[in-house]
Amino acid sequence: MRRILFESIASRPLTEAPPTADDAMLAELARKVDAAARRRLGRSLSIREVDAGSCNGCELEIHALNNAFYDLERFGLRFVASPRHADVLMVTGPVSRNMREALARTYNATPDPKWVVAVGDCAVDGGVFAGSYAVTGGVKSVVPVDLHIRGCPPRPVQLLQGLLALLEKQPG
C-alpha cells in the first residue's frame, strides 16, 4: 500500500480541468432558478440521486463523477445518502409507474429550496420507453424539473457542465 501511496504523491493528479458550464443549460436555469435561493446556498450543493426506472447506464456515469478524473467534490458538490440532506435531486429514468410514488415522496422529503435535475434522454419524456403501460411521461410529469441533462447516458463531462451551470451566476 505504501508504494501505491508514494507513487500517487510523486505523480501528477489525474483530475482534469473543469469544463465550462453549458450555455443552453444556463439559459434553462436562468428561467427557473431563484437567484436569492442560490445566493443562500453559495457554491455548495448536496445531491441526492434517485433512480426512477433507468437502465442503470446513467448511474454508471454519475458514479464516474466521483472518480479521480472528474472529482466532483472539488466544486463543492457532493452526493448525500438522504433526501433530507439534499439541495438537489438528480433523477434518472422515464419514471416507472412503480417508482412514481417513491419519487414524489423523496421530493416531498427534500427541504426547500430544492432543485430537480433530470438526467438522461428517457428522463425527458420517457425516451425509448415512452408509450409503455408501465412508465409515466418523464420526470416532469411527476415533479417540477429545473434542468435537463440529455444523453443516453450523458458523458460525465456533460453532467459536470450541467451541475456547474447550477453553481454559476445567472446571466444578466
Partner 1 sequence: MTIADIIHGERVPAHRPWPRLIVQRNGWHFAGQQLAEGHWTLLGLWGDTGAVHMAVLDERAADAAVLTLECTETFPSVGAVHPPAIRLERAIRDLYGLEPAGAPDTRPWLDLGFWDVAYPLGSQAAPKPCAPYAFLFTEGENLHQIPVGPVHAGIIEPGHFRFTANGETVVRLEERLGYVHKGIESLMTGATLDKGARLAGRTSGDSTVAYATAFAHAVEAALDAPVPLRGQYLRALMAELERLANHFGDIGAICNDASFSIMHAQCGILRERTLRAADACFGHRLMMDRVVPGGVAADVGAAGRTAVSALLAEVRRVFPQLVELYDNTASLQDRTATTGVLRVELARQFGAGGYVGRASGRGFDARRTLSYAPYDELAFDIPVLEAGDVNARVWVRIREVEQSLALIDQIMRRLPDGPVLAPVDPVGSRIREGFGLAEGFRGDVLVWVRLEGPRVVRCHLRDPSWFQWPLLEAVIEGNIVADFPLCNKSFNCSYSGHDL
Residue ranges binding partner 1 (CB under 8 A): 1, 3-5, 14, 49-64, 66-69, 79, 81-83, 93-94, 96-102, 106, 122, 128-129, 131-135, 152-153, 155
Choice between 44 and 98, CB closer to partner 1: 98
Strands of 88-92's sheet in order across: 77-79, 45-51, 88-92, 115-119, 147-149
Amino acid at position 103, single letter:
L
Closer of 27 and 109 to partner 1 (Cβ): 109
3-state class (DSSP) for residue 46: strand
In whole angstroms, the minimum distance from the beta carbon of 67 to partner 1 comes to: 4
What distance in Å separates the CA atoms of residue 101 and residue 156, rounded to the nearest whole number?
A: 28
Tell the smallest beta-carbon distance from residue 123 to partner 1 (Å).
13
Task: Output 26 or 92, the one with its CB closest to partner 1.
Answer: 92
How far apart CA 38 and CA 128 sit, in angstroms, is 34
